[in-house]
Amino acid sequence: MTDDQTPSILVFDVNETLLDIRTLEPLFERLFGDRRILREWFAQLVVYSQSMTLSGLHTPFGELGLGALRMTGEIHGVEIAEADLDEMKDRMGSMPAHEDAAPALSRLREAGYRLVTLTNSPPSPAPTPLERAGLANFFERSFSVEAVGRFKPAPETYAHVARELDVEMSDLCLVACHLWDTLGAQAAGCAGAFVTRPGNAFLPAPNLPEPDIVAADMQDLAGQILGRWPAPGAALGA
């Protein structure tokens, strides 16, 4: 992104960025005796979602997540029962919002930014996870990668948002706590804002673009965005 580009639309990742996946920890504690296995499972899920996209294959993210749980069980010698999969689905569908999400979203919307979401998860019947978490009303639209059949960080996922909103890629800033997501968005022509939630960090390696914004939490993110880019205009209605 060049210095003269000012994004007016903030595109938020959902899982872990807005919704707290740590509420899955009790399941991993019960199954594996170690809640930290959650991070191993999530890493497997991300790796295989991206592998499928590179291979020209696609399975809905939720189904892939259940398969990754079975695979993690196989690795650790733990049998995963159907009841465990049902619990995973229930917990995934009812993750609460991070405490810093609503205040920051309210601040950004009041400043005039347009807010949307982009998730690897497929569309959900009402009430959606964002509705259950009390965040849905902050966003004018919610996008899923299912529309293009490819997972983030494939460029088609970010381009789909720009196309649907009839804007340029440079009008978008992708907000995520996953560096692989902000890297993909920046490579596609968007700005990238990286929220360093616990378990996530910057990767210092050659030829990787640094995020335009690096924030410790959502309130820090909102302050940096408002300080760096002029507010787009008057507040939008809910």
Q: What is the pLDDT along the chain (238 residues), one digit of tens a residue?
A: 555 678 999 999 999 999 999 999 999 999 999 999 999 999 999 999 999 999 999 999 999 999 999 999 999 999 999 999 999 999 999 999 999 999 999 999 999 999 999 999 999 888 999 999 999 999 999 999 999 999 999 999 999 999 999 999 999 999 999 999 999 999 999 999 999 999 899 999 999 999 999 999 999 999 999 999 977 764 444 3
User: What CA–CA distance (Å, rounded) separates 54 from 31?
Assistant: 31
Task: Pull the structure tokens for residue 116.
Answer: 């949307």
Work out the number of other CB atoms within 10 angstroms of the CB of residue 211: 23
d(CA 206, CA 132): 41
Helices (H) and strands (E) in the chain, counts: 9, 6
CA dist 165 and 172 (Å) reads 10
Burial of 71 (0-12, 13-18, 19+ CB in 10 A): middle
17: tokens are 């960025």
Q: Which domains does the chain have, with CATH numbers?
A: 9-19+96-228 (3.40.50.1000), 21-93 (1.10.150.240)
Number of residues that this document lists for the chain: 238
34 Ramachandran zone, left/alpha/beta (phi>0; psi -120 to 50) = beta
Which of 127, 220, 122 shows the shortest CA–CA distance to 175?
220
Cα–Cα distance, 198 to 201 (Å, whole number): 8
